[in-house]
């Protein structure tokens, strides 16, 4: 437990530093990917499956607030519910699910937003249990930024095979340090790691290896990483190799998995969920027809 507590403290200090430095960086240079008009809002085959958005370390309602508003404005989905989980695991709700096929979005907020990924995974379990009991939800999607992605995969490994919980259909991780903060030395090394997994495996990654068998092979996964420049293969906080570290692990488990890399200043860690190109990638992965 002492090692885990120390890991959480280090994780928090790095991310808090990233948030403060990210705000001072210029964002007038757009990401290399140009957003195009989404066609999701024009489709008749929308779904009633809720998509849960989970913030990162020290995250707040504003962390995914901008993306949710933009997705609503584009007609891609509707934010219907906010679930706040207390440090004791009690779930409180604002709003309600309509049950309509309108691509409903649910924001998950952890009252203790600096706690560790193991507790957050348990709180995420409580949120899914709430949705099952209150709304008879049988299936969800998960979208996690940074530690929210780490905690989501931790949830899938710890509780993903529990039959009394809603199943997870799709999982998106945005800038999540799956292999802690292991640096990516080159794109050639990144390609090798995408195919075979990282050479240097953190304790976190090794724990994923031990629990990957509990992750349903039916879950489709999108891993998103940021690259600030040709020489900085990171989003300023999380290296590409870490954000994409579980690609091979998931593929070997049998999961359909995709990776996307966004470049430029709008790919900075705290800017990824404010990047309209990332919005589009999220929308297309969750709601585009197959």
Question: Which residues, 6+ apart, have CB-to-CB distance to 5 below 8 Å?
Answer: 116
Quick: pLDDT tens for 254-269.
999 999 999 999 999 9
Q: Which of 275, 268, 233 is nearest to 19 (CA)?
A: 268
Q: What is the pairing mode between strands 51-54 and 220-227? A: unpaired
Mode of pairing for the β-strands spanning 78-85 and 91-95: antiparallel
Rounded CA separation 237/15 (Å): 7
The answer to whether position 243 is within a domain reads yes
What's the CA gap between 204 and 211, in Å, rounded?
11
**Distance, CA of 289 to CA of 246 (rounded, Å):** 25
Question: Looking at the domain assignment, is residue 38 inside a domain?
Answer: no
Categorize the per-residue pLDDT at 290 as very low, low, confident or very high, splitting at 50, 70 and 90: low
Q: What's the pLDDT at 1?
A: 44
pLDDT in tens, 222-264: 999 999 999 999 999 999 999 999 999 999 999 999 999 999 9
- Are the CB atoms for 240 and 184 separated by under 8 Å? yes
Consecutive H or E run containing 261: strand 257-263
- The pLDDT value given to residue 128: 98
Residue 30: inside a domain: no
Report whether 68 contacts 79 (CB < 8 A). Answer: yes
CATH of the domain at 132: 3.40.50.1820
Strands of the 78-85 sheet, one edge to the other:
91-95, 78-85, 104-110, 51-54, 139-145, 167-174, 220-227, 257-263
Looking at the predicted structure, is the pLDDT value of residue 117 above 60? yes
Structure tokens at 52: 């849960």
Would residue 34 count as lying in a domain? no
CA atoms within 13 A on the CB side of 147: 29
Distance from C-alpha of 107 to C-alpha of 50, rounded to nearest angstrom: 10
Buried b (16+ CB within 10 A) or exposed e, 82-95: bbbbeeeeebebee
154 within a domain of the structure (yes/no): yes
The count of structural domains within the chain is 1
3-state secondary structure of 277: helix
Model confidence at 155, pLDDT cuts 50, 70, 90, reads very high
Residue-number span of the structural domain to which 231 is assigned: 45-287
How do residues 74-111 score in pLDDT, each as one tens digit?
Answer: 999 999 999 999 999 999 999 999 999 999 999 999 99
19 in a structural domain: no
The answer to the question of residue 28 being in a domain is no
- Residue the block writes with tokens 């604002």: 94
pLDDT for the residue numbered 289 = 64
Domain membership flag for residue 1: no
What value does the CA radius of gyration of the chain take, rounded to a whole number of Å? 18
Three-state SS for 26?
Answer: coil
């Amino acid at each position: 437990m002492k090692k885990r507590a120390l890991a959480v403290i280090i994780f928090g200090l790095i991310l808090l530093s990233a948030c403060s430095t990210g705000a001072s960086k210029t964002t007038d240079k757009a990401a290399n990917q140009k957003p195009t008009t989404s066609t999701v809002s024009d489709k008749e085959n929308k779904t009633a499956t809720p998509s849960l958005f989970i913030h990162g370390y020290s995250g707040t309602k504003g962390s995914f607030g901008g993306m949710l508003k933009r997705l609503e404005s584009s007609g891609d989905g509707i934010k219907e519910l906010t679930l706040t989980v207390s440090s004791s695991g009690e779930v409180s709700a604002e709003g309600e699910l309509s049950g309509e096929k309108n691509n409903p979005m649910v924001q998950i907020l952890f009252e203790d937003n600096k706690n560790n990924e193991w507790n957050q995974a348990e709180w995420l379990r409580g949120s899914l249990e709430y949705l099952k009991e209150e709304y008879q939800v049988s299936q969800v999607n998960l979208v996690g930024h940074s530690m929210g992605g780490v905690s989501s995969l931790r949830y899938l490994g710890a509780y993903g095979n529990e039959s009394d919980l809603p199943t997870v259909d799709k999982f998106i991780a945005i800038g999540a340090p799956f292999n802690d903060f292991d640096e990516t030395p080159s794109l050639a090394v990144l390609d090798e790691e995408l195919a075979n997994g990282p050479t240097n495996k953190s304790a976190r990654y090794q724990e994923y290896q031990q629990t990957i068998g509990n992750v349903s092979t039916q879950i489709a996964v999108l891993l998103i990483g940021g690259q600030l420049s040709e020489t900085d293969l990171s989003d300023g906080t999380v290296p590409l190799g870490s954000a994409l570290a579980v690609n091979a692990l998931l593929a070997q488990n049998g999961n359909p998995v995709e990776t996307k890399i966004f470049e430029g200043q709008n790919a900075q860690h705290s800017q990824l969920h404010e990047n309209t190109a990332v919005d589009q990638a999220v929308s297309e992965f969750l709601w585009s027809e197959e």
